[in-house]
Amino acid sequence: TKTLDHASSGLPEKLSKNLAKVARGAVALTYAPMSIVGFHETARQAASATLLPGAEGGAWGQDDVVSPIFPAWHKQETAGRALERALAVMAAVSSQALWVTDRPAPPALAARLDMIRASLPPVDDLSPRNLGHDCDRLAEAFRAEVYATSA
């Protein structure tokens, strides 16, 4: 949120090159921080304790408990997807900050910035687009990297 606020960041207001659109409140990245709040809440809920479920309760005398692995696995996947999406939004904001200030990425991050911009090009404020789809593509690219198989 502070990255989009000129007074806090020292960057152009709402990370936009189009001050007229900023004045009208029509800047696409304005809502990005709100999505991260939702991702944090999803991850927080998924990170709750996974308790041992009760017995299956079959009629033939089985008295053990169900493994907590399956519900824990689902919760880990949910938290992981929320993290990937939050990282995608942060990557979009970071990419936009470099673009709007005409700064290159540091050499060690140049390839990463190219990867980010392949899924989510900078927002020029002149042609509206659904950033949700762009961020989703980027989150999936992050996921593919995390789960890539090594040769």
pLDDT in tens, 28-41: 676 777 788 888 89
> For residue 114, what are its two tokens?
């190219």
> pLDDT (tens digit, 9 = 90+) per residue, 113-142?
999 999 888 887 666 667 888 889 999 999
Give the residue with greater pLDDT, 116 vs 9: 116
SS3 of 84-128: HHHHHHHHHHHHHHHHHCCCCCCHHHHHHHHHHHHHCCCCCCCCC
Q: Which amino acid is at 60?
A: W
What would the mean pLDDT of 65-78 be, rounded to a whole number? 83
In terms of pLDDT, which residue wins out, 90 or 16? 90
Whether pLDDT at 14 is above 60: yes
23-70 confidence digits (pLDDT tens): 555 566 767 777 888 888 999 999 888 776 665 555 566 656 667 788
pLDDT for 54: 61
Q: What is the pLDDT of residue 149?
A: 67
Residue 76 has pLDDT above 60, yes or no: yes
Query: Three-state secondary structure along the chain?
Result: CHHHCHHHHCCCHHHCCCHHHHHHCCCHHHHHHHHHHHHHHHHHHHCCCCCCCCCCCCCCCCCCCCCCHHHHHHHHHHHHHHHHHHHHHHHHHHHHHHHHCCCCCCHHHHHHHHHHHHHCCCCCCCCCCCHHHHHHHHHHHHHHHHCCCCC
Between CA 65 and CA 62 the distance in angstroms is 9
pLDDT value, residue 124: 79
